[in-house]
Amino acid sequence: MPFRDRREAGRRLAERLSGLRASSPLVLGLPRGGVPVASEVAKALRAPLDILVVRKLGVPFQPELGMGAVGEDGVRVLNADVLRQARVTESQLAQVEARERAEVEERAARLRGGRPAIPLQARTVVIVDDGLATGGTARAAVRVARERGAARVILAVPVAPPETVAALRRDADDVVAVETPKPFFAIGGWYSDFSPTSDDEVIALLTQGGAAREVGGGVRGADREIVIPAEGRQLPGHLTIPSGARGLVVFAHGSGSGRHSPRNQAVARALNDAGLGTLLFDLLSPDEEADRANVFDIPLLAGRLGAATAWLLDQDDARTLPIGFFGASTGAGAALWAAAEPDSPVRAIVSRGGRPDLAGARLKSVRAPTLLIVGGRDEAVIEMNRDAARQLPADHRIEIVPGATHLFEEPGALEAVADLATRWFLEHLAGTRP
């Protein structure tokens, strides 16, 4: 069945990708025609939208034959077999690369309106085009995304020949196509309206669905990918501030999980719905996570949490909001450790299945009201929380969720956590008793 236009194609493609919503993906459109399709996918997945600008490096005397590709951030991927067979010299390669790299940078800056690219590090990335024929550009795009740090790369298109889909599965983690006709003649034949997409249309779509957008009734909120500098590391995160927000909660993930933790994302959505901002970010870089000892290095994790808090206080849309910490597992110990600093601005803390005992002697210096939430079947952690609570001088409370285990995977358990956390933060950050 042909598509009416690229937008309808994007909506039908989004139906095939709905299972990705929980992984908080980043959607990247290939300019220009892939961006209207990607825009519909991003809306359906509630994901940020950006572009992936890629230029093929064509053999000098046979430009349609690709010897590699270049992308943003100085990324270059080469096809060693083509280079060898075509006997391309270093000088020839450098000349082609310089020309195409200049085109990449110029086009990316023009289409984004000067905004920086959303970081790909450790993310699930969905690359979207309006269709595939041979798949050469798509293959280059997948490789560029991997070089830029994407953890998982999914290629998604409305239409492609089945043999191209099969071949690209060797490059991407998955390839999704709505239609795979055989025989396949041309992409445009599958659209009633396949008119060219203009630069202005791409710019407008990126402005609506990109790194920052209007939230709520005319007051500028925030919903954007961010990067936090910390001790020479660049830690990716996601900042959400609803219109009229009354507080902002920073999440400290535990046991090696990051900003894509589905449990913390569920709690964050509940806080956003209640008018509270959230910052989810990775406390550790991928190479640091490989060393299991870092997961239990509470001073290290607390230092990263402090760096994130300092970063927030330097942002125009966040600096006036009262700040709370939400810590899970070892992240709870890090939250309490950081909150014990003499100049900490933190005004409320919630721990979910946390290890507050890991904050040790610092518990006696925590001044922020603290809520400790533990599963009723998590006996060992219950005792750790009770021991820690005895050392907290500030207002504190332990809430036991009946029948819940450590990860709160039982029906209704995580909803109970979200409700308790929302009430605590509204009371102690916004001064509102729900």
**What is the phi-psi region of residue 403: left when phi exceeds 0, alpha when psi lies from -120 to 50, beta otherwise?**
left
Give the C-alpha distances (Å, rounded to integers) separating 345 from 93, 237, 302. 54, 20, 14
Residue 202 pLDDT exceeds 70: yes
Cis peptide before 76 (omega within 30 of 0): no
- Percent of the chain past pLDDT 70, that is, above it, reads 95
pLDDT score for 264: 87
Q: Is the model's pLDDT at 313 over the cut of 80?
A: yes
Q: What is the pLDDT of residues 70-91, one digit of tens each?
A: 888 778 888 888 899 999 999 9
Edge-to-edge strands of the sheet including 174-179? 49-51, 26-29, 124-128, 152-159, 174-179
Residue-range definition of the domain harbouring residue 329: 222-429
Range scoring the smallest mean pLDDT among 40-49, 160-169, 208-217, 293-302: 208-217
Under 8 Å between Cβ of 259 and 272: no
Together in a domain, 261 and 161 = no
At 87-118, the pLDDT tens digits run 999 999 999 999 999 998 899 889 988 777 88
Q: Where are the beta strands (DSSP E) in 160-276?
A: 174-179, 222-230, 233-241, 248-252
- Of 209, 244, 278, the last residue of a domain is 209
- Among residues 157, 188, 209, the one where a domain terminates is 209
Report pLDDT for 157. Answer: 98
d(CA 361, CA 386): 15
Residue 298 within a domain: yes
Please, are residues 146 and 7 in contact by the beta-carbon 8 Å criterion?
A: no
For residues 191 and 252, membership in a common domain is answered with no
Higher pLDDT among residues 46 and 203, named by residue: 203
Is the pLDDT score of 355 beyond 90?
A: yes
Residue 120 and residue 44 in one domain: yes
Instruction: Kindly state whether residue 434 falls inside one of the protein's structural domains.
Output: no
Q: Between 289 and 165, where is the model more confident?
A: 165
Structure tokens at 387: 């021991």
Instruction: Looking at the structure, tell me whether residues 279 and 149 fall in a common domain.
Output: no
Q: What is the CATH number of the domain that holds 239?
A: 3.40.50.1820
Q: Are 125 and 25 in contact (CB under 8 A)?
A: yes
* pLDDT above 80 (res 193): yes
The torsion angles phi and psi of 99, rounded to 5 degrees, stand at -65, -45
Q: What is the pLDDT of residue 312?
A: 92
Look at residue 214 in the predicted model and tell me its pLDDT.
Answer: 33
Report the alpha-carbon distance of residue 111 to residue 205 in Å, rounded.
10
Query: For residue range 362-386, what is the model confidence (pLDDT) as tens digits?
Result: 999 999 999 999 999 999 999 999 9
Checking if the pLDDT of 292 tops 90, the result is no
* Averaged pLDDT for residues 410-414: 91
In a domain, 216, yes or no: no
Q: Does one domain contain both 167 and 59?
A: yes
- In 3-state terms the chain splits into helix, strand, coil percentages (rounded to 5) of 40, 25, 35
User: Is residue 154 predicted with pLDDT exceeding 90?
Assistant: yes
- So what's the pLDDT on residue 173? 96
Q: Is residue 305 part of a domain?
A: yes
Query: Percentage of the chain surpassing pLDDT 90?
Result: 59
Tell me which of 148, 177, 209 is where a domain ends. 209
- Is a pLDDT exceeding 70 seen at residue 434? no
Cα dihedral 203→204→209→211 (10° resolution): 40
Q: Residue 186 pLDDT > 70, yes or no?
A: yes
Q: Which of 354, 406, 352, 399 is nearest to 378 (CA)?
A: 406
Q: pLDDT value at position 33?
A: 95
Q: Which of 175-179, 206-210, 215-219, 408-412 has the lowest mean pLDDT?
A: 215-219
The pLDDT value recorded for residue 255 is 63
Residue 213 has pLDDT above 50, yes or no: no
Residue 256 covered by a domain: yes
Residues 157 and 49 in one domain: yes
Mean pLDDT, rounded, for 350-355: 95
Q: What is the three-class DSSP state of 39? A: helix
Q: For the segment 2-44, what is each residue's pLDDT rounded down to a tens digit?
A: 899 999 999 999 999 988 876 778 899 999 999 999 999 998 8
Q: Are 199 and 166 members of one domain?
A: yes
CATH of the domain at 98: 3.40.50.2020
What is the spatial distance between Cα 271 and Cα 274, in angstroms, rounded to a whole number? 5
Domain count for the chain, please give it. Answer: 2
Identify whether the C-beta of residue 174 lies closer than 8 Å to the C-beta of residue 9: no
**217 in a domain, yes or no?**
no
pLDDT value at residue 6: 96
The pLDDT of residue 48 is 84
Q: What is the chain's mean pLDDT, rounded?
A: 89
Q: How far apart are CA 329 and CA 20, in angstroms?
A: 25
- The verdict on 162 and 230 lying in the same domain is no
Q: What is the pTM of this model?
A: 0.53
Instruction: Confirm whether 1 is domain-assigned.
Output: no
Assess whether 135 and 257 both reside in one domain.
no
In degrees to the nearest 10, what's the CA dihedral of 224, 277, 45, 48? Answer: 0
pLDDT of the residue at 209: 65
Looking at the structure, do residues 143 and 166 belong to the same domain, yes or no? Answer: yes
